[in-house]
Amino acid sequence: MVRRLISIILLCMFFIPLTLFSSTKFGYKGLIYVNSARVLPKGYLEFFAGTRYFGKVANFGGSGNAFTLWNVQAFTSFNYGLNSNVELAISPIIYQDTNNDKGNALDGQANVPDNLFVSVKVGCLGAENSNFLYGGILQTKIPTAESYNIIYEPYSAGNVEVGVMGIASYYNNITFPDEDWSFHANLGYWNHYDVGEELTDDPNDPKPNSMSSELIFGLGTRIPAGTFDFSGEINARYFLNRPPVTAYSREYVSYLTAGIYYNPYRWLSFQMGIDIRLLSQEDLSVYHNTALSPPSIKNTPNYPDWRCLLGVRFSILPFSLGSTPESEFQRDARNKKQLFKRMLDETQNTENAEDEVEALRKKRLRIEQELQRIRELLEQEEQKKKKNN
């Protein structure tokens, strides 16, 4: 336990400075952006911190003097499993570049803090023994930032916003979902509740006269490979009702994201992702005869053409996850093994029914495969334990 606490402290010392250059992630299990339909077990508490950033070097005319345009964001999230189907997330964005002079930190160039997101996720829904799981998320944005309508970030008008999302997941191995590939699909709706909000400093500039709203899409797969996982996903945003021309980022956009995850312990994982913009409409914001500031670099769209992401996640509760991971794993494996043996005994007692013979044969074959997998994992853990000793 002491060793685990020391590791957490060292991680915080390393990562907190890094999160001054980052982006949004709400701590849920899944991919970089695309959510899975699983939730944390009851009583589990996890902490997530990450960084997403974009930078571009440019010159002032032909003088040869260069400057770097940055858009960075820092975020954290606390996630708690309320029960076997419900998870709560509180996710403050602690730093956001504004690329204007309207923030409350760094001479107006940043929001510290930015907005706060609170969400409830329902998941692990589906038929027993089915490879498909379903879920959903209800989320709200609480405006705590100093500056809004920020270039290179999704549109925000500085009001309370609400969204819902549906989730479907397929796990190739439902018994050990983290041991095999999985596929996930998300479809969400986001309402900005921005009627009458001022988007610039000029009160005569256009204001939203109806609520701006978006559809959010996401598809992705995750493939485990030992202590590493790999993922690929596509996510997109499409306005059902656009904000006025004085809003940044009012265009359709989609990104391809590649992710890699390193899982050295059950209670600790690191992740890295790279976003590549696939499609985006031309800049639909209007800078002439409005108070909306044009981009610092000409012909730079409202959405970056690339972004880099870094993140770390570790479990706070239960403490047993960090004490003796081998014995904890063995305990879970033995419980599953006993359950499978009871299921085998039950199937043997009902094999006389001819119409169930084929179904029972397939069921027994699957159970035997799972038992073999448990034996192999137990042997691996025993070998690791002997090496550590």
Q: Looking at residue 349, what is its pLDDT? A: 58
Q: Looking at residue 129, what is its pLDDT? A: 84
User: Between the CA of residue 71 and those of 153, 246, 286, what are the distances in Å?
Assistant: 8, 20, 21
- For 226, residues 6+ apart whose C-beta sits below 8 A from its C-beta are none
- My answer on whether omega of the bond before 113 falls inside 30° of 0, hence cis, is yes
DSSP assignment of 26-95: ---SBSSSSBPS--PPTT-EEEEEEEEEEEEEEESTTS--EEEEEEEEEEEEEEEE-SSSEEEEEEEEEE
Q: What is the pLDDT along the chain (389 residues), one digit of tens a residue?
A: 444 443 443 343 333 333 322 233 577 788 999 999 999 999 999 999 999 999 987 655 555 567 788 899 999 999 999 999 999 999 999 999 998 889 999 999 999 999 999 999 999 999 988 999 999 999 999 999 999 999 999 999 999 999 999 999 999 998 889 989 999 999 999 999 999 999 999 999 999 999 999 999 999 999 999 899 999 999 999 999 999 999 999 999 999 999 999 999 989 999 999 999 998 888 999 999 999 998 877 766 788 999 999 999 999 999 877 654 444 455 565 556 566 666 666 655 555 555 566 777 777 777 777 788 788 878 877 777 777 66
Decide if 214 contacts 190 (C-beta within 8 A): yes
**CA separation for the pair 300, 333 (Å, rounded):** 54
Q: Looking at residue 2, what is its pLDDT? A: 41
